[in-house]
Chains A and B, each alone.
Chain A
Amino acid sequence: MIVTLDVFSGRPNPQWRLSEEETASLLHRISERFIAPEDAAEGVLGYRGLIVSATRDDQLPEGTPSSFRVGGLLRADHRAPKGAGRPLTADETDDAVRWLLSTGRNAVDPSLLAYVEDVVQLRKQGKAPEEPPGSEEVRELEPEEDADRGFPLPPFPGPFPPVCIKINPPYNPAFWNAPNVRPYNNCYNYATNYRSDTFAQPGRISGHLYTAIDCSHVSAAAKWDGLRSNCVARNAYVALAIWPPGCDYHWYRQDASGSWSHKPGGTAVQNKDQSGNPIDGTQRTPQNCNRGPYTVFCGYLWVPAGTRVR
């Protein structure tokens, strides 16, 4: 998940990523509670809260907005919908804000963090805060810097070979079809279940972008990103097809139900083939379904948990 410290007006807000462990901890804090969507903030200058955005469609419990706000001032006219859970108390919110800020201590300038801490404290006392420090350099984490922050896989017990665990995500098109997600993420983002907002290309994040569009080059580039021919530990299952000669590639992913779905470029996610038939995983698979011009079927690959693309 990506955390954005919503504080600046002109400069880009600082952002950082939560590890799998930190994500689990945050979800535990907000479990069954009403969480304000991203757009519920009062438009004030200075600290406006923290925005948390999912990077995968299976990260959030059902009903939780894909981008939500923790802390800050909410609009006066903002109301929780009927039937929504109990909101976090003021103390719980402050505690969540402090904890989220602690996860970003390597990405945010200490003086800015101190300013936000002060604002939280002053608002609690009913006092107006000052302007945020504007001259400090605030940097984003480079991918290589936070690459080792992922959740470590559990150790394998003794001499036994590693077990293959299929962790295909549920079919959740709403996450990908949101207007701020759909145009910026393609079939590769969807298949790897990683929202990068960069129209991800196989091999780009690993510095080994494909040099030709055919089965061997595109799958080799994807393997540099971490995809594998064999299943070791926790993986999702994906399939690759090519539009010959060298026009384009297309990825499908298997969902938790065993059916297959895909995202044609910047268009909406769907679970049907080019003839409009469901790719149910039994009668119809990526290999035998109607793939339109993507007539060359390359085969299947595994996406290890925690794989990122760009």
Chain B
Amino acid sequence: MIAELDVYSGRPNPRWLLTEDECRELALLLRDLPPAEERRAGVGLGYRGIILANPQKEWGLPPHLRVYAGVVSAEADGAQFLSDVRGCEQRLLTMAAARGYGPLVAAIVQQREA
């Protein structure tokens, strides 16, 4: 599974391959989520969420997920919006920071708080 920080406009977004342990952890965080109250998906300039590309549909997850502002959206089989009740987004941002994207994650957090 590949995680992509959907944030840039000109440069290619940062992407990284998730380890098996990380995939397993995310699969647990994303299991049986309740429907979201709002249909939120990142658009425009700056941080638009984190995309999980899972073309082999491993770990019981759909092939394409976006996690943004507390909402998990699956875009493959019709739009489905679920509530990120277990903090998957925060966990993914922490993983991004650990991969060397700390300053960018700090800028994202600043942007979200603004």
Contact = CB atoms under 8 A, between A and B. Distances in A.
B45 interface: yes
A201 B10 contact: yes
Contacts of A199: 12
A292 B111 contact: yes
B45 A264 contact: yes
Interface string A237-269: 000000100011111000000000011111110
B44 A265 contact: no
B111 A187 contact: no
Contacts of A186: 9-10
Contacts of A292: 44-46, 111
Interface of B: 6-13, 43-46, 48, 104, 107, 111
A114 B9 CA distance: 45
Contacts of A270: 43-44
A217 to B, nearest CB: 12
Interface of A: 186-188, 199, 201-202, 213, 218, 243, 247-251, 262-268, 270, 274, 291-294
B51 to A, nearest CB: 10
B12 A294 contact: no
Contact of B43 (A243, A247, A262, A267): A267
Contacts of B111: 292-293
B68 to A, nearest CB: 12
Contacts of A218: 10
28 contacts: A186-B9, A188-B10, A202-B10, A247-B8, A248-B7, A250-B9, A262-B9, A264-B43, A264-B45, A265-B7, A265-B10, A265-B13, A265-B48, A266-B6, A266-B13, A267-B43, A267-B48, A270-B43, A270-B44, A274-B46, A291-B45, A292-B44, A292-B46, A293-B46, A293-B107, A293-B111, A294-B9, A294-B46
Overall SS of chain A's interface: loop
Given A292-B111, A293-B107, A293-B111, A248 B44 contact: no
B45 A247 contact: no
A248 B43 contact: no
Given A265-B6, A292-B111, A250 B45 contact: yes
B107 A248 contact: no
Interface class of chain B by DSSP: loop
B108 to A, nearest CB: 9
Contact of B8 (A248, A251, A263, A274): A248
Contacts of A274: 44-46
Contacts of A248: 7-11
Contacts of B48: 264-265, 267
A233 B11 CA distance: 30
Given A250-B9, A267-B6, A292-B111, 14 more contacts: A186-B9, A199-B12, A201-B10, A201-B11, A247-B104, A251-B9, A264-B48, A265-B9, A267-B43, A267-B44, A267-B48, A293-B111, A294-B45, A294-B46
A292 B7 CA distance: 11
A265 B8 contact: yes
A177 to B, nearest CB: 12
Nearest to B108: A293
Most buried by A among B9, B10, B48: B10
A187 B45 CA distance: 11
Contacts of A265: 6-10, 13, 48
Contacts of A262: 9
A187 B43 CA distance: 14
Contact of A251 (B10, B11, B43, B46): B10
A42 B71 CA distance: 43
A310 to B, nearest CB: 14
